Chains A and B, each alone.
Chain A
Amino acid sequence: MKRSKLLLFAVLPAFLLLSCGRPYDVRPAGPGTDRAAFIYPDYTDVTLPCNIAPLNFYYTDPAGKAFTTHFFAGGKAVVLKGREVVWKEKAWRELLAAAAGSDITVESAWSSDGTRRFQRWTLHVAQDRIDPYLTYRLIEPGFEVWDDLEIQERNLESFDVRVISDWRHTENKCMNCHIHSQGRGDLSMFYLRGEGGGAILNRGGELRKLTLKNDAMISPTVYGEIHPGGRFGVFSTNIIIPAMHSEGGRRMEVFDTASDLCVADFDGKRMLTFPETSRKDVFETFPVFSADGNFVYYCAAPAHPLPAELGQTMYSLVRIPFDAATGTLGGPADTVWSATQRGASVCHPKTSPDGRWLLFTVAAYGTFPINHSECDLCLMDLSDGSIMDMQAVNAEKSDTYHSWSSDGTWFVFASKRGDGLYGKPYFSHVAPDGTVTKPFLLPQKNPHFYDMMLRSFNVPDLGNAPVGFDAATIGKVWKEMPAESFEKKNHTI
């Protein structure tokens, strides 16, 4: 008995130590840090969908203590104490339901340096729901090499995460980002690169592995999108060159020395190329379909010798008709946003599934905006071509790699605001009049999650339903499924 008590006293402190874990010290505020707001993530005055997971955060005042946070909405009141504000999911859901279509008023109080501090702020809760699934690739900011890649699907209504493809099941193969067609969980694709790889096409949960390449193309397909009808996909083919900037403040640069467009006929197993979008004197890239599938928007620039004239290489946004019966791109292309007139370069156009909006990235030059701190999102109203005010959305670091929810009321984008290194998913609401709201960062169970995160959320993409596969299935596809050839004959039209 005596011995067992001694054992208990010896083991208990160790157990407590292990179960409590090491407290986070993230030096949240002060000179040399990027914590401007009194809470991190900065959720002050953001607009939320009524089905979002709890917004956990922490106070950044290093000298602060006795933190109290009061939430009021629809006659309900919740008080949470402590530097870390971590919700119980049920309590959060009840508060959110009470506030749908109105506001949650928040009162923050704490002591700091002998002074009582107080902040009143607001969480606006929209009635519009957001598509509940978000896929993204987790990747270290790399330079042609990779390790331990995975694509995850996060449930935005909770903190549940599902791995849909990963390095463990594919012998550490490279994989590119997963994209939905118009936010549909049953129509999506991504690439597994290297031996045994191919474009993985998900149509209604049926998976196919495709080699989207023929002799008329300058490379396998790179950027692209699936047609809403599901039979076709439009893609770019790019000769991609990685490079560096000598000036210390800039990071890796990537440019194309050649790029064309092509169409993949998934049912006919053929690749189609067209003179209008295979010009040697023009770089064509980042093609996407219009919401109705009758046009393809893409970026085009006059060919320049690179990298010598990289700073002058600016892409316009153009549009070309698409015939969904034959898979034909018909010329000529119309200019939607002129790089010459604007003195800037467009990347990553994305049409909203309701057909109303076109969201794209504008950078000073080139096609690699993720390392361009000047790059911002731009929203065009397709009904009249007007450009919306995006000041509420854009930050001083790169904002790009965006996608729409299936009803066109929310968009997500990867922003490097803050550290400038790691892309994080932010969500913003678009009202019918084009008013956009201050974006909020994807909430995490641990409010310190992003402080300890050393990987980027690459190409966050919204989906209205979970994709019907997981990493084990993809592992089987990679190992056992032969890739379907699209090399039959050249269908230049």
Chain B
Amino acid sequence: MSRKGRRIVWIVLAAVLLAAGGSQCVFLLRHPYFRKYAALNGISLREARDVWGKPDRDAEQILGMIVEADAENWPKVAELAARKDLRSEVGTYYYNLANAMLGKLPDRLMDYYQPFERGLFLPVGPSSTPFKIACAGDVWFQLGYMPLAERDAMLGLLFSPEHNGSRYLRRLAETNLIKGDSEAAAKYLRMLLNGSREDRKWALACFPENWSPQYRQRIAEKRNLMPQFDLVHGMDQTPLILRILLSANQTNRMALDYLLCYDLLTKDLDAFVSDYNPALTASPLYEEAMLIVLAAKGGMNAENFAHYHISEVNFQRFNRFVTIYKRDGGSGRNLTEEFGKSYWYYFYYAVKNEKK
């Protein structure tokens, strides 16, 4: 080949490499969370594209919520969730979790799509997708229920492409540190020491002899939420588990809000009344639910209003809702705009999509 010919070959080769690199850069700029999610699952970007395909914008938004939730960056999770109501179970699940971590779960619950209880707890079973199973333990971990946090991390690991995602290894290490099972924790910490530089740094800091005062406090706080008594229960007995958490620690406000929101999203108002203690938590959402209960059971009096902290404003709004509801013969047509984000509207008009 002549000198000129070789030069042309080199130029073409360089152009191809540049184009490929450029395409990769564009992809990374557009999908930063996809790469991070792949890393959390222990695989490279290329492997992730082979396994999961190219993500669309909605998928990138959900992956962003997962990645930020993994870093416990709750304002960012909420911000990502608020960008677009994706009407997805996983999206709502993380939006709810972020709001709960920010102390705003009941206050924000009706502001966005709620696929009934599946936006609070992602079901885990033979018909669940691996993607949802991998996310299901995040809420249990934050609630302080380590048996299910560990179960879901174990299943996340099981379904991660190489069965060794650091997202799950970290969770498994931490659930066992919280439980005080240092031998089990060491198993996962040792594995993380062989991972990325970040994993190694994280793992080294988590060996009990290296705990910082902040980390020690984090572990103590989680331990404080754990039930100290034993009760054998089914894996899908969500309200029972939340009640177990509450009987272990009455100050677990997050567990209480999740329980009350679970009652409300499943429209089980009897359970809600039984679980609700206005001295422990308060929200306009709970006021709205109590107004339905009191109206149905004939308790609309000042004493009950005071006990349940029901404001005059909410009472007047409820009267207006009922008036329009009756006037329109149960149609929600004229209620949507004014009351679309009220519990009353959800209670009367939300229909469960059983296919999901």
Residues of A within 8 A of B (CB): 22, 24-27, 30-34, 140-148, 241-253, 307, 310, 418-422, 451-452, 454-455
Contact = CB atoms under 8 A, between A and B. Distances in A.
Q: Nearest 8 A-B pairs (CB), nearest first? A: A247-B230, A419-B187, A34-B183, A307-B232, A248-B179, A33-B186, A32-B208, A246-B231
B163 A454 contact: yes
A419 B184 contact: yes
A142 B235 CA distance: 13
* Residue from A145, A248, A249 having most chain B Cβ neighbours under 10 A: A248
Interface in B155-213: 155, 157-159, 163-164, 178-187, 189-191, 193-194, 200, 207-209
A141 B228 contact: no
Contact of A251 (B150, B194, B200): B150
B190 A33 contact: yes
A34 B186 contact: yes
B147 A243 contact: no
21 contacts: A24-B194, A26-B193, A27-B186, A27-B189, A32-B182, A32-B185, A33-B182, A142-B154, A142-B158, A143-B155, A144-B125, A145-B158, A147-B130, A246-B230, A248-B179, A248-B180, A248-B226, A249-B179, A249-B181, A421-B187, A454-B164
A51 B233 CA distance: 47
Contacts of B124: 143, 145
Interface of B: 124-126, 130, 133, 146-148, 150-151, 154-155, 157-159, 163-164, 178-187, 189-191, 193-194, 200, 207-209, 226-235, 241, 244
A142 B155 contact: yes
Contacts of B159: 147
A250 B230 contact: yes
* Residue from B133, B178, B184 having most chain A Cβ neighbours under 10 A: B184
A249 B226 CA distance: 10
Q: Is the interface of A mostly helix, strand, loop or mixed?
A: loop
A250 B124 CA distance: 20
Nearest to A252: B151
Nearest to B200: A25
A244 B183 contact: no
Contact of B232 (A147, A310, A421, A451): A310
A243 B235 contact: yes
A141 B226 contact: no
Contacts of B241: 246
* Residue from B178, B180, B200, B232 having most chain A Cβ neighbours under 10 A: B232
B110 to A, nearest CB: 31
B148 to A, nearest CB: 7
Given A246-B229, A246-B231, A247-B227, 5 more contacts: A32-B185, A33-B183, A246-B244, A251-B147, A455-B163
A96 B208 CA distance: 41
A141 B187 contact: no
B236 to A, nearest CB: 10
Given A25-B194, A27-B189, A148 B163 contact: yes
